[in-house]
A and B are shown apart, each in its own frame.
Chain A
Amino acid sequence: MATEQFTGAEIVIKALKDQGVDTVFGYPGGAVLPIYDAIFKQNDIKHVLVRQEGGAVHAAEGYARSTGKVGVVLVTSGPGATNAVTGLTDALLDSIPLICLTGQVPTHLIGNDAFQEADTTGITRPCTKHNYLVRDIESLSRTMHEAFYVAQNGRPGPVVIDLPKDVQQGKIDTYLAPEDVKHRSYRPQVNGEVDHINEAVELIANAKRPVFYVGGGVINSGSSASTVLTELVRLTGAPCTTTLMGLGAYPGTDKQFLGMLGMHGTYEANLAMYNCDVMINVGARFDDRITGVIDEFSPDSKKIHIDIDASSINKNVMVDIPIVGDAGRVVEEILRIWKEKKHSLDAKSLKAWWSRIDEWRAKDCLGYVQDGPIIKPQHAIKRLYELTKDRKPYITTEVGQHQMWAAQYFHFDEPKKWMTSGGLGTMGYGLPAAVGAQLAHREDLVIDISGEASFMMNMQELGTIAQYRLPVKIFVVNNQWMGMVRQWQQLLHGNRHSESYSDALPDFVKLAESFGLKGMRCEKAEDLDQMLQEMIDSPEPVIFDCQVAKEENCYPMIPSGAAHYEMLLGPEDTAAKPISEEGMVLV
């Protein structure tokens, strides 16, 4: 009896199946035709045709982030691969597990400047966690499984597998299953150092003004990490803040939650970070949006830093107790020891700490006044939250003012509901990410909170939404400006609005209709609730053009070059604290 033969393309599909993949986002082209042919001949894996490869990567990110699984992308060689680069970089900075399969010209043509040839592994080396060029069919199944292992273990990230066309078309009679493949050296440390964990517990137990500073690492660690973290925070009674990427890791409506911290975080979160005596960083990376000027960042606190990536520790901020390990595993261990030793924080100190925090809270830093018919953008998002919160929607965003307002006024009680481009700040992320989230959760409410400028960056994906009848709600906070650029031009560049006006916008209602979607436009505050409800109740995909106050700025704000306690709370603060020359250099 002849042994079974597989083509390279069949091995790719078989490996995806064995890795539990059910959805692939992609766009065909010459160098991946054998794989597309193999897709055609099977029914286990659904291929979702995007309208540009960049959209495929963001869609896979939305899929990955809303499910906790690996997102998979399939694109052709050359321009297919180069179009994927932004999404790969985005996934690298936000630690999203992705596999990106790229076609490549046949091995004998590599290096010949062949048609649609690009040095994909060379181009993607700095923007992936790892990448592979598969030079022979013998190593294909091993490489596929190894790539999945690398993408999800340790700090997650994108992995590119470059597949020359002759490898896809070759034949072989052996296939390694996932359990047959073990990476020869990559073994990330997941359990933190025992001594350091014990020291951390002691430090927390003796804290007078502790604060938990929680990042996306908790979400990447899985839902149980959020559960144990929430239990620990509640057991201690300490305040908790999260980064942009960490929203949902701790319940957003809990009384111990201070809101997001950082450049557009709440006053109480940043002041608690500045004034704390013990800071417990769980899966966050002290990035520059959080710290403000480093020299003045929380100078009097002892710092514990739990991170699965040793290179995140002592990179920006020197800490006292580093713990390298998986956020969930380490927090679980801290919780176990805390309970075992029957620790509790000193009640008197904690009470005094909370009363200071309550004073900062009383500033009501997110307060705004909605008067008159013009819709305030903050009000639009707050109402969207109020009217949808019972349905626990999946929210994606683009990048800019609307993103920060969404982070401030939308609250997430669970992880994996919030998808935004945090590290790279990629305009155009939200629409394709919503496609990915909706495909993973067909029955749930998925909303892309967008700005009109960001929306334009990947609006070709309306075609994908229409083709798959994805009931995504695209909520365009339309102020006819690249709002965050305009805000910085106002604060830093004498209000000279160089090229930041959204001119020649489409009629969003007609645009929606031209794709067969529902279009709505809201111009008056009094109509907002009723129209929002109509959007939410619609089983159709909707573009909602929400016309808002044009020149509203996003506050509170740590201006660039300032310390994290020097927040501007509103326009009246701006004049009093001019921004330094050094600050202007910073992004």
Chain B
Amino acid sequence: MAGHELIERHLRTLAERLPDPVVDELADGLLASYDDQMERLGDPDAAAQAALADFGDADTVTAAFIRASPARHAAITLLVAGPIVGLGWGATLVTANGWTSAIPLPLRLTLGLLLGSVVLMLVTALREQRHYRTVRLAALGGAATVAVVDTLMLGMVVTLVPPPSLLLLVALSGSVARIMLAVRAVPTLITRL
């Protein structure tokens, strides 16, 4: 497929990090650049080195794709929304009149574990610079788990029927908004590069 061992090696590195259609497109660009350099320089080694220098190293190219990826943008949005919704629930639970004692321990533990997982996945999606698939999977997992956490919170309120309050209303609205945000992000994360 490629015209030179150096080019093949570069494409193999990119193939380990980026989705197949992206690598196909990059391969076409890199090989077109190699062809141009061959016409200019006439020497395969010099042409391959010039094409690679002009193309950019694998870290730079991968990082540029990851920065522009919908997965990373979704992770940023959910990470920003996290403390806002969390503050709403925190204030609601701290000022609650006794009803929080009825929350079963297994549910508390489950929510804690899920919240920890969400933070871990979204931070991974934000910090990862070299593997596009990792960013995508982490953002997808984070979005899905956020939806589960908020659904559990809504379910808990429906089950325990706490006394209505403005703080509870704010927290519920925050969770509903975040579920919608996460659910809207999931198809994009699955289908779009």
A binds B: no
